[in-house]
Amino acid sequence: MRRLYNEYATGMAKNELWNEAIFRWQQSLELDPAYAPAHNNLAVAYENQEKYEAAKAEYKKALELDPQNEYYIRNYQNFLLNVKRATKKPASPTP
């Protein structure tokens, strides 16, 4: 069942229905809190909604559960770069 929720949520995310996707990934995790793909996907959804602290926690959980997964590692590294860019203050113009 967790896989079905995950697959459905992925379809919702592809259609940019992030709230529905988040809801389904959360349901998947209620069934199996150790399901790393749902943590990773939930992190992507949170990142898309600029909920950076929640995204970071989910990426870390996915990596805790599956530390050798190259996909999760790459997603987390990209997340860190994206957050840095998003939170970087623009430089003041020089006179």
Contacts of 48 (CB under 8 A, 6+ apart): 13, 18
Please give the Cα distance from 56 to 59 (Å, whole number).
5
Q: Residue type for 69, please?
A: N
Chain centre distance of CA 7:
15
- For 41, half-sphere exposure in the C-beta direction (CA atoms, 13 angstrom radius) is 28
CATH number belonging to domain 2-87: 1.25.40.10
For residues 91 and 50, the model is more confident at: 50
Question: Phi, psi at residue 38, to the nearest 5°?
Answer: -70, -40
- pLDDT band at residue 29 using 50, 70 and 90 as cut-offs: very high
Statement: the pTM of the whole predicted model exceeds 0.85:
yes
